[in-house]
Amino acid sequence: MENIQLKHEYGYVRDEEIYLKGFLDYPDRRIGQVKQSPEASLKYFEDRFALAKKKVEDLAFKVEDSQNKGSYLMKLIHMRKYLANFDGLGDYVALFNRLDELEAQLRAMIAVNRVKNYEIKSALLADAEACLDDPNLNEATDRIKEIKLKWIKTGAVLEDHKDYIEKRFDEVYAEFFEHKKNVLKNRARQIKGNLYNYKRILYRAEEIKYSDDFDNAFAEFRDMQQEWKSGGKIPHKKATQLWDKFRQVNDTFFTRYKQFKLYKEQYPEASALEIRQKLSNAMCIEMESLVDLHHQNLHNVERGKELLMDWKNLTTTFRNVDEDEGERFRLASDKIFEISYLFRVVKRKYPDVEHKPQEDQLRIKVSFMRELIRKDEAEIQLAETNLHRLDSNKRNPEYKKAESNLNTQKRKLGVKRIILRDLEDLLHNIKGQVRPTTYNRRY
């Protein structure tokens, strides 16, 4: 070489430039420039080579210490490129030989690992295929997702098997979720059908819960209960809501049915219609018999209360009680309680009223009843005025309550007027006179 100023075991200085001697298949290469002196520059690049040597040693240590050695193969390849372009003076051949040894170790280990990986992935593939036949879709979904994570973490397999096993796993994974989508779609369709059936049963139960055809309704309710039990799955919240409604409807009917059977024991040969008519007529007659304009009979009042409960049971059991009989019963019961109230008012002022002559008793009762009627009329007028001030929207609860109270007041006023008429009739009969009509029939 011409113009060589200074030679070195691994390089030389020429024309104030530092060169690395060629090695293996690499030619001589300029790595720097003389700064102070050729000797100092060569020494600088000798020291710098120690960095490259340390990188190789660090890589070798990591390979030896790592569990996943195969991951260092690419780092080793990059290390060769790094050394081929590194600016330093030293024994590169030894470093490349060390890298060759490491690569041979890694490739041997990778070959073994790929066999193991193939065994692992084959087992994972079998597990994934088993998920296709698992009836428990939620558990199978969790399991196949877990298998997918293990698959990703497992390294490559032998090249001869790679394409097949990767493709097959992707097919199984896609097939599972397509199968899941179809199952969920069919399940949703089934749930919709089940929900429709539950609502249909509930609608029918609502239709007949007040039926007076008790025996046929009883049989139909039993059938509906069995059908409900086999109705199939629907969302839990919806199932609870529908069951609560169905149970309430059942309770309503069977409460009526139980009472009907008690009535049936009294009239075993009678139909439901005949039983209802006999009972309602008997209650009306008895309630009317308790009306007593002459005496304060506490027993009659208590019996009237009992009859009201019996009537409530009757009208709960039979939903089609004759309206005229209902009015008849209500009028008689109202009379009893209004007369009882009148007696209490009278006796507060005349404790010995019952010892007075009958005509005097009737005069006192007529006087007090007229006063009660005047008070009721004044209260009704005030209630009507207040009602007109309210929002007349039927959905307004305050308006509905006020309207209901007003109607009750009017009904009671009407009863008081009837009682007044009856009292006046009795009074005029005693006097042998025809009673003139003097009271206002406005309500």
13 with 95, same domain: the answer is: yes
Query: Which whole-number Å values give the CA distances from 142 to 148, 180, 258, 302, in the listed order?
Result: 10, 12, 52, 71
Dihedral sign for Cα atoms in the order 65, 66, 67, 70 = negative
Closest CA to 259 of 210, 225, 304: 210
Whether residue 234 is contained in a domain is answered as yes
The count of structural domains within the chain is 4
Q: pLDDT at position 433, please?
A: 53
**How many whole angstroms separate alpha carbon 128 and alpha carbon 145?**
9
285 with 247, same domain: the answer is: no
8 with 103, same domain: the answer is: yes
Task: List the chain pLDDT tens, one digit each, 443 residues.
Answer: 457 778 889 999 988 899 999 999 999 999 999 988 889 999 999 999 999 999 999 998 888 887 677 778 889 899 999 999 999 999 999 999 999 998 888 888 878 888 888 899 899 989 999 998 988 989 999 999 999 999 998 888 878 888 898 999 999 999 999 999 999 999 999 999 999 999 999 999 999 999 999 999 999 999 999 999 999 999 999 999 999 999 999 999 999 999 999 999 999 999 999 999 999 999 999 999 999 998 888 899 999 999 999 999 999 999 888 889 999 999 999 999 999 999 999 999 999 988 899 999 999 999 999 999 999 999 999 988 888 888 766 677 888 888 889 899 999 999 999 999 999 999 998 876 545 544 444 33
* Cβ contact 179:133 at 8 Å: no
Whether residue 295 is contained in a domain is answered as yes
12 with 99, same domain: the answer is: yes
- Cross-strand partners of 320: none
Q: Describe the crossing of helices 323-349 and 298-317 by its angle, rounded to 10 degrees.
A: 160
Whether residue 56 is contained in a domain is answered as yes
Closest CA to 186 of 232, 237, 143, 145: 232
* Cβ contact 423:365 at 8 Å: yes
Whether residue 124 is contained in a domain is answered as no
Whether residue 133 is contained in a domain is answered as no
CA angle 361, 365, 366 (to 5 degrees): 115
Whether residue 11 is contained in a domain is answered as yes
Q: pLDDT at position 388, please?
A: 85
Domain range for residue 427? 356-443
For residue 301, give every residue at least 6 positions away whose Cβ sits within 8 Å of its Cβ, in sequence order, or none. Answer: 336, 337, 340
14 with 99, same domain: the answer is: yes
Q: pLDDT at position 322, please?
A: 85
Q: pLDDT at position 4, please?
A: 72
Query: Which whole-number Å values give the CA distances from 283 to 174, 275, 324, in the listed order?
Result: 76, 12, 13
- Cross-strand partners of 29: 20
Query: What distance lies between CA 195 and its chain's CA centroid?
Result: 15
Q: Which one of 89, 109, 129 terminates a domain?
A: 109
> Sheet containing 17-20: which strands, arranged edge to edge?
4-8, 11-14, 17-20, 29-33
Tokens of 165: 């096993």
Q: pLDDT at position 394, please?
A: 63
Whether residue 301 is contained in a domain is answered as yes
Tokens of 102: 């490491």
379 with 338, same domain: the answer is: no
214 with 291, same domain: the answer is: no
Whether residue 176 is contained in a domain is answered as no
**Rg value, the chain, Cα:** 53
203 with 213, same domain: the answer is: yes
412 with 326, same domain: the answer is: no
241 with 305, same domain: the answer is: no
Q: Which one of 61, 80, 109 terminates a domain?
A: 109
9 with 43, same domain: the answer is: yes
Q: Which one of 266, 290, 324 terminates a domain?
A: 266
238 with 325, same domain: the answer is: no
